[in-house]
Structure 1
Amino acid sequence: MNFRMKSKYLFSFFLLLVGKVLFSQTPQLTERSQVSLLTCAAGDELYYAFGHSAFRVQDPVLGIDVVYNYGTFDFNQPNFYLNFAKGRMIYSLSRRSFDAFLYEYELEKRWVKEQIFDLTLEERNQLLVFFENNYLPQNRDYLYDPLLNNCSSITGDILRKQFGDAIAFDGSYLDKPYTFRQLVRQFLDTNSWSMFGIDLAFGAVVDRKATVQEHMFLPYYAMEQIRNTSLNGRPLLKRERTILDYNEHTQQHFFPLSPLFWFILLLAFTCAITYFDYTHKTRSRWLDFSLMFLTGLVGTFLLLLWFATDHTSTPKNFNVLWAFPLNAVVAFIFAFQDKLPKWSSRYLWSVLGLIGIVLLLWIIQVQSFSPVLIPLFLTLAIRYVYLIRYSKL
């Protein structure tokens, strides 16, 4: 390790020691202090796709420049993945120097903007006391919710909690109130596997309109909301500046790797096999097994997300109608019998009708479904209709 690197680590260690001394008791900020909201650009990975929000407190007189970050989680937590699946994800408030926080975004070339609040000294100290109290080991952990309680939605919650009715969120900047699903789709391509998976897991509960404050679960909307928020009748935003100035990351998509491409391919393949079966008066049992078992498996998983987890965004998921869980059992019956059972026609008409109900729910806006499902609906419908015909032979 060269002298320059040694000096860097010694300096970081010195800053850490100074921070511990400074914050062993909450200091009283001076008139030159500032409290601000940092908004960071979206990144390339799914967990960076929506951007990030954090609070910054600085006071040059006291030598304080720290970031309070509510978006911290630890992969090494006990039962991390199990808790994630159950909807019991624990996030924490972390506190680190502003330079250390900024370093990551500089490496990834993601812009960072700062919005400085127009607060009295008393209000700034009030927020600092809150952050420091929240940072205590017994207080820093919280139950994460991707839509209702995340690093960005907490911005509005904290302002409301600290200043009560004195804080006013003006929603006139919104073209219209969006549903939670519509808001998520603004940041992910509908024809991507990540958005398809999210659309599949989300239930009808996310198709309600979000309130003005609820739009703040997305950092970009939280930033815009700060521009349209007042405290005691005066604008909350004092001034805004760009700390890191990089271009917005754009997602690159290759159509042959998208879900729509593969579902169209599956539709074409199923049409060809079904035509072959029709002309030869036979049944490709492996195809029926694959389609029914996989849809049943997906439906079972969605049913578990609905009833067996604490996720607030997965209940009332009517994707279980086309991905009918019972298909996983029926698949084995259809696969190992040369002749379809007598009840097969009634069952097939029922699952075909369930696809029709899904389309109806979509039309009347009970739940919005992923558009890339349309080729899959056609695939299932074609096979179900053929099997109904085949069962009568």
Structure 2
Amino acid sequence: MRLSVLLLMFFLLSGGRLLSQTPSLSENSQISLLTCAAGDELYSMFGHTAFRVQDSVLGIDVVYNYGTFDFNRPNFYSNFVKGRLIYSLSRRSFDRFLFEYELEKRWVREQILDLSLEEKNQLLNFFETNYLPENRDYLYDPLLNNCSSITGNILKDQFGDALVFDGSHLDQQYTFRQLVRQNMDLNSWASFGIDVAFGSVVDRKATVQEHMFLPYYAMQQIRNTTKDGKPLLKRERTILDYAEITPSGFFPLSPLFWFALLLLFTAIVTYLDHKHGTRSRWLDFTLFLLTGLIGTFLLILWLATDHTSTPWNYNILWALPANLGTAYVFVFPQHLPAWFAKYLWTAISFLALMIILWVFNVQIFSPVLIPLLLTLAIRYGYLLKFTKS
């Protein structure tokens, strides 16, 4: 017993040193994939995936977790915006890892992999090499390189063509946008913000392996993966058994409620403007300023960051970056400039083009946008009529 404890302490405290110090696993060892339920917070809303290495002979029970990030890392938030967020591989005891999920009452399931002793040691050597300080950091990508998708990459890199990801269990191959929406309430600010930030590049179908960027799909995929023609999954068990957390939204706080309210408000103000032959400059200034700010931010995400999911974002067809500069027209009481009518026709044409792109699935937009699009169309149409009068 004392020897096992000493071996475990040595194993935990010597991480990041020489590969030659990595212990050789015994026949009693096993390597498994842990899948953890989704949580309440945005960063945990899609669940989590990690590797577990156990050996009762050596007294080893540790988790290799590729989902570790540090808010205190220099330039964390600026790197997040730029698409250069760094995640790390961490290693901790299984008990400490499990404590967090027990505290949050999130289920944890374990899938033990059917591997030979040589293959187990191969994976352990890989994890230990990857855990070295110079190797543990990696460039995070929420869709292509996260804590879940990296598990499929590791298994494929380690076992090559012997490993086959069978996709017959999938009802269909979904796009990245569809996959993200499956885990979120469509009428939530988080879902709306992600939908608007995503460009048309996420509307392509994900490959069978790419579905594994979501932990639940990674768990399903392990059940449908073979190595050397035999099932990779040896045994599956539930470690923590809690009910699935289902987020409950409050409609009056949802984006659809507020956009519908804005549409109603704009329709009333526009009717009163038409009746009195005036224009509410404060409303137009606000609409142009906000859409211009959103459009400018989306353009920056598209052109000036390393995000792989934000290029070719046609949301800028309603959130026109040029609206930011055009908003000054409404600050002063003089007549609208002559060029403004052409600008309004362009803005209306862009709204029509956006609908065409939506119909032909070039980019799928959030349905929550519909009241906002109607709001802009009403106001653009009225201003166009006002310029003529």
Given residue 112 of structure 2, which amino acid in structure 1 is its aligned partner?
I
What is aligned with 2:41? 45
Q: 2:239: which partner in 1?
A: 243
SS in 2 for 1:380: helix
The 1:27/1:15 distance shift into structure 2, 3 A limit, reads: closer
Specify the SS of the correspondent of 2:28.
coil
User: TM-score when scaled to structure 2?
Assistant: 0.96
Deviation at 1:20, TM superposition (A): 1.9
User: C-alpha displacement at 1:17, in angstroms?
Assistant: 5.5
Please name the residue that 1:55 is paired with: 51
Q: What is the aligned-residue RMSD (CA, Å)?
A: 1.4
1:97 counterpart (88, 93, 116): 93
Matching residue of 2:118: 122
Match for residue 139 of structure 2? 143
Matched, 1:221 2:217: yes
Deviations 1:12-53 (A, max 9, x none): 999656622588611100000000000000001111100000
- Rounded to whole Å, the distance in 1 between the matches of 2:330 and 2:315 is 23
Spell out structure 1 runs of 4+ moving beyond 6 A.
12-15
Distance (Å, rounded) in 2 between the aligned partners of 1:103 and 1:381: 52
Distance, in Å, in 2 between the alignment partners of 1:35 and 1:22 is 18
**Amino acid in structure 2 at the alignment position of 1:20:** L
**Matched residue type, 1:226:** I
Pick aligned residue for 1:342 from 338, 345, 352: 338
Return 5+ residue gaps in structure 2 as ranges. Answer: none
Q: Which residue of 2 aligns with 1:8?
A: none
Question: 2:282 pairs with 277, 280, 286, which one?
Answer: 286
TM-score for both structures, normalised by structure 1: 0.95
3-state DSSP class of the match of 1:313? Answer: coil
State the secondary structure of the residue aligned to 2:24.
coil
Give the AA of the match of 1:112. Answer: V
Cα deviations by residue, 1:306-346 (Å, 9 ceiling, x for unpaired): 00000000000000111000001111123214211111111
Structure 1, residues 272-305: CA drift from partner, whole Å, max 9, x if none?
A: 0000000000000000000011001100000000
Return the alpha-carbon distance in structure 2 between the equivalents of residues 337 and 16 of structure 1: 76
CA displacement 1:165-218 (0-9 Å, x = unmatched): 000000000000000000000000110000000000000000000000000000
- Which residue does 1:6 correspond to in 2? none
In percent, how many aligned pairs have the same letter? Answer: 70
Aligned residue number for residue 256 of structure 1: 252
Pairwise CA distance, 1:392: 1.0
User: Which among 71, 75, 81 is matched to residue 75 of structure 1?
Assistant: 71
Q: Deviation per CA, 1:45-75, whole angstroms, max 9, x where unpaired?
A: 1111000000000000000000000000001
Aligned to 1:94, what secondary structure does the other structure show? strand
Match of 1:3 in 2: none
Q: Which amino acid aligns with 1:241?
A: R
1:288–1:335 Cα contact (<8 Å) kept? no
Does 1:113 pair with 2:113? no
Match of 1:19 among 9, 12, 25: 12
Q: Which position in structure 1 is the counterpart of 2:313? A: 317
Aligned length: 382
CA distance in 2, matches of 1:86, 1:70: 21
